[in-house]
């Protein structure tokens, strides 16, 4: 099971866990979308790529993850896949990076 998290909650978690190796932000958009702007510190792993499941299989299931995409749909799919694979602490960023930016939160390019 995964949970939904709004941009303000996500930003607070990211700030609190800035140097925590057990906390990861995963951008599940395409590499091109990722290049156009992302949340600082995010890893890019395209949920629509053929190797998404094998790549998440390399991640530690005990770490904490925030996943996001452009609007929240692809990241819901990714969060569900991760949850189904046994990940215990996955949060989906509601509204994706669009809602993140609409809330005035920073992105890096």
46 within some domain: yes
Residue ranges making up the domain that contains 74: 3-102
108 within some domain: no
Catalytic residue among 69, 78, 81, 82: 69
29 within some domain: yes
Given a contact cutoff of 8 angstroms between Cβ atoms, the answer to whether 88 and 59 are in contact is no
Predicted TM-score (pTM) of the model is 0.96
pLDDT in tens, 23-37: 999 999 999 999 999
Measure Cα distances from 32 to 19, 28, 68 in Å. Answer: 27, 11, 15
Known catalytic membership, residue 30: no
Total structural domains within the chain:
1
Stretch 8-35: mean pLDDT: 97
CATH number of the domain residue 30 falls in: 3.40.250.10
* Backbone Cα Rg of the chain: 12
């Amino acid at each position: 099971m995964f949970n939904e998290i709004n941009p303000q909650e996500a930003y607070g978690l990211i700030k609190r866990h800035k140097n925590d190796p057990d906390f990861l932000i995963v951008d599940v958009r395409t590499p091109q979308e990722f290049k156009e702007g992302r949340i600082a510190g995010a890893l890019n792993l395209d949920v629509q790529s053929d190797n998404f499941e094998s790549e998440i299989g390399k991640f530690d299931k005990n770490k904490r993850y925030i996943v996001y995409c452009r609007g929240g749909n692809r990241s819901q799919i990714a969060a569900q896949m991760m949850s189904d694979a046994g990940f215990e602490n996955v949060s989906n960023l509601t509204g994706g990076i669009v809602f993140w930016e609409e809330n005035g939160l920073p992105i890096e390019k």
